[in-house]
Chain A
Amino acid sequence: DTEVTQTPKHLVMGMTNKKSLKCEQHMGHRAMYWYKQKAKKPPELMFVYSYEKLSINESVPSRFSPECPNSSLLNLHLHALQPEDSALYLCASSPGQGVYEQYFGPGTRLTVT
């Protein structure tokens, strides 16, 4: 089973709202990722968790706050977003331990109004 799930599928939020995106995988993978993707652009890495510890933060603004409660779950907390943050947010996982192929979830389409 190479499935990564994400909720919600779509999210509309105002600039003063607080919301969270959720990601789950049950493949026993030890690395999980958040990406942001704008139309006609490749995915842009935001965060990497390896063995439940934040290992890479690609200088993402603090209005995005990641959390990894356990090895299967990854959250992205959103606060005071800007309209330019509207995008497809993708979660991915990979086995870790030198194995880097990443499996993506279906994504959350975020619109900030």
Chain B
Amino acid sequence: QKEVEQNSGPLSVPEGAIASLNCTYSDRGSQSFFWYRQYSGKSPELIMFIYSNGDKEDGRFTAQLNKASQYVSLLIRDSQPSDSATYLCAVNPGGYQKVTFGTGTKLQVIP
């Protein structure tokens, strides 16, 4: 079964620290990878996507992809209390107009 796995957390980090969120996936043919942020009671918001091995940076966010090891991670630098949310990893297996979501990691940034 094709799966996307995340640690459910909560992951607690102090304000100003780097938060590191990890995601592994089982389908080796997966081609595109997404990170969504979801605040409680709100809809998911796309914050990063990455298609190629390596790092992709956008402001305080860096997505890292390692296809050989089948993991994708999200780093949040200078974490703020407003970053406290659930972060969903999503993977597209390639060739299909759908993604598989992980169960999400809850991040708590402590002031």
Contact = CB atoms under 8 A, between A and B. Distances in A.
Contacts of A107: 42-43
Contacts of A33: 98
B43 A55 contact: no
Interface stretch (B14-22, B58-66, B70-78, B100-108): B100-108
Contacts of B98: 33, 45, 48, 56
Given A42-B104, A100-B92, A48 B97 contact: yes
Contacts, number: 48
A25 interface: no
B43 A104 contact: yes
A87 to B, nearest CB: 12
B25 to A, nearest CB: 14
A31 interface: yes
Contacts of A31: 97
A100 B32 contact: yes
Interface residues of B, number: 20
Nearest to B49: A101
A104 B44 contact: yes
A55 B96 CA distance: 10
Given A42-B104, A48-B97, A48-B98, A102 B34 contact: yes
Contacts of B92: 100
Contacts of A100: 32, 34, 92, 97, 99
Interface in B1-55: 32, 34, 36, 42-46, 49
Nearest to A107: B43
B104 A94 contact: no
Given A41-B103, A42-B104, A102-B34, A55 B44 contact: no
Contacts of A103: 46
B88 interface: yes
5 contacts: A42-B104, A43-B44, A101-B46, A102-B90, A104-B36
Given A48-B98, A102-B46, A104-B46, 20 more contacts: A31-B97, A42-B101, A42-B103, A42-B104, A43-B101, A45-B98, A50-B97, A56-B98, A88-B43, A94-B97, A96-B97, A100-B97, A101-B46, A102-B90, A102-B99, A103-B46, A104-B45, A106-B42, A106-B43, A107-B42
